[in-house]
A and B are shown apart, each in its own frame.
Chain A
Amino acid sequence: MTLTPAARDRISAFWMLLPTFLLLFAFYLYPTFYNLELSFTDITLLQLRQGGDPVGFANYAEFLRSPSFLDIAINTVFWLTFVSVSLMLILGLLMALLLNSEFLQRIRMTTFARLVLLVPWATPPVVAVIAWRWLFDPTHGSINEALLWTGLISQPIAFLANLTTVWPAINTIIIWNSTPLVAVSLLAALQTIPEEQIEAAEIDGATRWQNFRFVTLPYLMPTLSILGLMSVIWTFNNFVYVWLATGAGPGTYTNVLATEIYIRAFTDLRIGYSSAIGVVMAVVMAAFGALYFRVSGLMDMQDRVG
C-alpha cells in the first residue's frame, strides 16, 4: 500500500507530537481529572491510604454557599487581581515611556535606569515578601521610621495588621515585584514604533498628548492587551504574596481563592473540599483563557485586515 504525501505528513506529525501529548497527559490531564475526581469525595489528608467516600456536588455547594465565599471572591477578583493588574499596567506604561524618553538619554541614565528596573523583577517573590515585611514592620521598619521622621504620622502603623492598610500593602509588594516585566515588555514595543510616524504627526501639528493617544498607544495596544490578560491569570492564581505577607489575615481579611485552597487542604485537612475550590478556580481561569484567545484572535484579524 502506498501512502499519499499528505498521509505521510500526518503520520510523521503524529509521531513528532506524541511526546508532547504524553507529557501533557501525564502532567496536566491526569492531575486535572484526578483533582476533579477528588472534588466529588470527602477525602481528608488522614484518609489518603483508604480514600474518601463519594459526596456528589456537596463540596461545591458548601463552598458556593459558605458565608465567606463572597469575601473571598471580592478579595481575589478586586483586591488581588483588578487593583494589582491595573496599577501594574499603568505604572509599567509610565516607566516604559520614561525609559524610552529623550530626557534619560540626555542625562546618560538610560542603561543604568534599565538595569535598576530589572532588580525587583529578578528578586524571587519569597525574598521580596520577606524584605517588604521588614520594611512594613511597625517597630523596626524603615517605612514607619521615615513617616515618623517626616512627621506624617505620630504613631507607627502596623501595615500588615491594619484592615485599612493591609490590602494596599500587599498590592505594593505585588506591583513592586511584577511591574518591571510589564515595563520592559512595553519598552520593547515602544522601540518598534517607526520614528517617521511620530515625526509626521508632529509636522501635522499633533500635540504630545495627541501623538501618544493616536500614534503610540495604538502600537502598544496588542502588547498591553496580552500583558493585561497574562497578568490577570498570574495574579489571580497567585498564592505566595498573600500567604507569606499575611497568612490570609488578619483573621481572614485577605483570604483569596489560592490561600483558601491551602487552608482547607493543609490546615483543615479537607482534600476533597479544597479540590472543589481548585476546580472552581480552574473554571474561572478557563473563562479568562477563552477571553485571552478571543482577544488574541481579534487582534490577529485586525492585523490581517490592516
Chain B
Amino acid sequence: MQNLIKWTATAAMAFWACSAFAQTELTFRFNDSEREELRAALDEFEAANPGIAVELQTIAWSDSRDQFLREGAVGQGPDVVHIAFVWTREMAEAGIVLPIEQLTEYGAFPNGFDDFIATDLTAYEGKSWGVPWSADTWAMVYRTDVLAAAGIDDLPETWDDLLADSRMILKTTDSIGFAFPAADQVWFPFNFYLWSNGLSIVEEDGTGGYRVGASAEELAAAMDYFKTYIDEGLVSRSVLSIEVPHDPALLQALLDGSQGMALMPTNTYRQLLGAFEEANPGAEVPFASGVTMAGSEGPRTHLGGRTLVVNSSTEHPEAAWALVQYLTEAGLFEDYYTNQFPAQKSLLSKIDYRPEESGFAEQLANNTRTWGAYSDSGAGVGQLWNLTARAVATSLSGQSSSIEAAEGLVTEIERLLAN
C-alpha cells in the first residue's frame, strides 16, 4: 500500500512538472497565399516566446467564414483567426470571438487601439471584437505599352472613358481593354460603379432605418454597363466564370500584354508586379496604377482589409493575444507580409510606395469609403454580396434581362432588410 502511494505521488509530481513546462500550443488560421513568409514570421515569434508554439493552418478564403462559424458554435476552432473586416460583427453576433477590451488586459498596443483604421467595422453592442490587421482597396491597373499601342495618351477618368478606351484597344491592337471577374467578385466593380454615381445597394433611410440605395432601373443600368463589354465582345465570355481578380486567366493576360486594363486589390497588384519582374529580370515594368472611374460623382472604392480575432473558446487567451500583438508590428509588414499594407494609421503614413503603386496610394488616401450602411443595417455584407453577385451574373450571362435581375435583387434585399 505504501509503495502504491509512493508511486502515485511520484507520477502526480511528474505529470505536474510536465504540465508546468509544457509548451502552449496555439493554432493560427491564415487565408492568404503568403504561407511560407508567415511561417518564417511565426518562427521568429516562437524564438522570442519560448513557451509558445504556433501551428499555421491555411484555408481558402471562400470557406473561411463558414468553417469558423461552424467550429466556433461547438467550442472548437483555431485560437487566432484571420477574417475579413466585414465578418467581424457576424462573428461577434455568433458569440465565437473575444472582445478586445478583455484582451487588452494582457497588454496594450503601442499607439493604442485608436491607431487602427476601420475600427467601426469591428464594433458590436458597444465593444470591439477584432483587430484590423491589414488595409487594402482596389484601384485601376494599366498595361502602359498596350495603351500606347492603341494611341491612348491619358488614363481614363470616367466609366464612359473606360468603355471608349476598351473599344479603341480592341479595334487598334486586337487586345482586350478592360476585363473584370464577372462571377462572385463582380460585387466590387458593381459597387464602385454605383457609388461613383451616388447610388448604393443599401443606404440609411433618414429615419434610423435602411433601404435599397438604388431603384431597379438604376441597378439595371449599372448591370447593362458591364454587360456592354460582354455583348460587344470587348471581353471574352469566359469572364462569366471568373470569380476573383487574381484568376490566372486575368493575370496571365496582363502579364503577356493581351489585356490593357484591370481592377484589382493591392496584394494582387503586388503579386502581378512580382511575377512580371521574376519573368523579365531587369526589364522596365510596363504597369501603372490609377484611381478608379468617376461617374456622376467622384471615384469611390471600399476601405477593405483583414481582421485578427481571438476564438472565445481558446484555452490560451494571453498567448493568443501576444501573437496578435506580434502580427500587428511594423516589422511583419516590412519583412514577411509584404504584399499587404498595415492597418495602423501610424504605419500607413510611413509606407514607401513604388512609382507603379501611386494609384493605390491615391485611392487609399482620398477615394475610399467603408461599407457603412451595408454593415450597420444588419443585413450582413456577406449576404448582400452573394445576392448582388448572383443577380449581376444572371444579367451578364443573358439568363434574364437586366431589369428582371434588378427587380429580383431589390425584392431580395428588401426581404433581408426586413428580417
A293 to chain B, nearest CB (A): 36
Is A253 part of the binding interface, using a Cβ–Cβ cutoff of 8 Å?
Answer: yes
Are the CB atoms of A249 and B241 closer together than 8 Å?
Answer: yes
Chain B residue at minimal CB-CB distance from A47: B94
B378 to chain A, nearest CB (A): 11
What chain B residues lie within 8 Å of A156 (beta carbons)? Answer: 236
Is A228 part of the binding interface, using a Cβ–Cβ cutoff of 8 Å?
Answer: no
A290 to B183, CA, bound (A): 40
Are the CB atoms of B238 and A161 closer together than 8 Å?
Answer: yes
Are the CB atoms of A250 and B383 closer together than 8 Å?
Answer: no
CB-defined interface of B63-75 with A at 8 Å, one 1/0 digit per residue? 0001001100110
Is A268 part of the binding interface, using a Cβ–Cβ cutoff of 8 Å?
Answer: yes
Which residues in chain A, 160-192, are within 8 Å of chain B measured between CB atoms?
160-163
Chain B residue at minimal CB-CB distance from A262: B66
Are the CB atoms of A163 and B399 closer together than 8 Å?
Answer: yes
Are the CB atoms of B238 and A251 closer together than 8 Å?
Answer: no
Is B239 part of the binding interface, using a Cβ–Cβ cutoff of 8 Å?
Answer: yes
Contacts A161-B238, A163-B397 given; indicate if A251 touches B94 (C-beta within 8 A): no
Is A145 part of the binding interface, using a Cβ–Cβ cutoff of 8 Å?
Answer: no
Are the CB atoms of A251 and B241 closer together than 8 Å?
Answer: no
A109 to B386, CA, bound (A): 52
Cross-chain contact of A46 among B69, B238, B393 (Cβ < 8 A): B69
A158 to B398, CA, bound (A): 14
A301 to chain B, nearest CB (A): 47
B97 to chain A, nearest CB (A): 12
Cross-chain contact of B399 among A160, A252, A269 (Cβ < 8 A): A252
Are the CB atoms of B73 and A251 closer together than 8 Å?
Answer: no
Is B265 part of the binding interface, using a Cβ–Cβ cutoff of 8 Å?
Answer: no
Chain A residue at minimal CB-CB distance from B96: A49
B interface residue count range (under 10 / 10 to 19 / 20 to 34 / 35 or more)? 35 or more
Are the CB atoms of B383 and A158 closer together than 8 Å?
Answer: no
What chain A residues lie within 8 Å of B243 (beta carbons)? Answer: 247
- Chain A interface residue count, CB cutoff 8 Å, equals 28
Chain A residue at minimal CB-CB distance from B75: A49
A155 to chain B, nearest CB (A): 8
Which residues in chain B, 12-61, are within 8 Å of chain A measured between CB atoms?
none
Are the CB atoms of B70 and A139 closer together than 8 Å?
Answer: no
What chain A residues lie within 8 Å of B249 (beta carbons)? Answer: 137, 139
Contacts A161-B237, A249-B393, A251-B393 given; indicate if A67 touches B94 (C-beta within 8 A): no
Is B390 part of the binding interface, using a Cβ–Cβ cutoff of 8 Å?
Answer: yes
A161 to B380, CA, bound (A): 29
A46 to chain B, nearest CB (A): 5
CB-defined interface of A129-163 with B at 8 Å, one 1/0 digit per residue? 00000000111000000000000000010101111
Contacts A250-B183, A267-B386 given; indicate if A137 touches B93 (C-beta within 8 A): no
Contacts A139-B249, A249-B393 given; indicate if A48 touches B184 (C-beta within 8 A): no
Which residues in chain A, 248-280, are within 8 Å of chain B measured between CB atoms?
249-253, 263, 266-269
- Interface CB pairs A-B, < 8 A, 8: A49-B94, A49-B95, A139-B249, A161-B241, A249-B183, A249-B241, A249-B397, A253-B397
Closest A-B pairs by Cβ, 3 of them: A251-B394, A48-B73, A250-B397
List 13 other contacts, CB 8 Å, given A49-B94, A158-B236.
Answer: A49-B73, A138-B238, A139-B238, A139-B249, A158-B240, A161-B239, A246-B241, A251-B397, A252-B390, A253-B397, A266-B66, A268-B383, A269-B380
